[in-house]
Structure 1
């Protein structure tokens, strides 16, 4: 059959609805991306917190389908009702965060849907309508860092001191702004390599000092090398 990944833009601002169908024996490590996800895996609703290193996917044994909605950096904590740092490097049942009766109803709704991704999107949209809006300053921080701005310039632009920026970043992203900047820079570099750009050029374009710098970041954050990562199916 072959593994298959599909993704579309969500009506939730900045979010993506995705699905991954994998063959038995396939390995799909999840690299840090600064995001949090609401997941439908093996008949369960889960939340994936922000990662600081590559995580093995938690899914149905022997292959199967993963479905999720990936929220833009800094937007999920308000919707889920929990600071991001409490979920850092964790996968937790939604029932650990929301009332069990509600989660049972939502689980039945997703299980009975012909399109689990659309059902997840509906859950997120209804929740967002009743929740406090995301921290807009932190959304601006994520956008600035993703554009390659330094943490110092970003703090100045949004009018926050170093301590306040760090504290609010922990709640919004799960880690401090310097870690988020590294994660977003790595994702920029990987996207450039996927587009066909050589490693050295991608490293410089993404904001690394050189290819060796990108290689170190790949080992630290992804636990692998560029060559091994792009050689994988």
Structure 2
């Protein structure tokens, strides 16, 4: 199982090839009380390295997750620009992932999925490190993207420090979801305050958004917290 996990980690970046920005996620169950040790391994491996584009995020899974998995890795990159600026020695990469694998509970199956990022507004994740994610199926994806981009622009003050993204699941769609939206915040309470703010201060913009985005089949929403981010 450990060998399988190592191979899975090493291969996850090569399954999607389409538009400008891509991502690949793998969810796993960390051994109890091992998050700090895993984070330390990530710091030692990634902290001084430079990516050709994108980066890597280690996240802990929180509210809304209905599985025994506790964490996920998110790899992001631009088309044709995957990897590090400096080529890594094979033994260095192997040793890192083998070390990470030592803190993974192999009795809990891993789960991976991948896709594209169609809209992205970068925020300050040092301040807003909690991530609210919605998975869904829109009746009209083109209309949804247009409505999404418009409200992010029209209510820009509400999203000042928040990262906001929209994209597709293209490989192994989780629970049948085809699309996703992410918005970062300080914590769960801050996510709730954003909803309240949109409903009270940006009523006109929010009404227009719901009118224009097309019908949506909500699959799930959940929260993750950024443990480490390298880019």
Q: Does the pair score TM above 0.5?
A: no
The TM-score with structure 1 as length reference comes to 0.27
The TM-score with structure 2 as length reference comes to 0.27
Higher strand share: 2
Higher helix share: 1
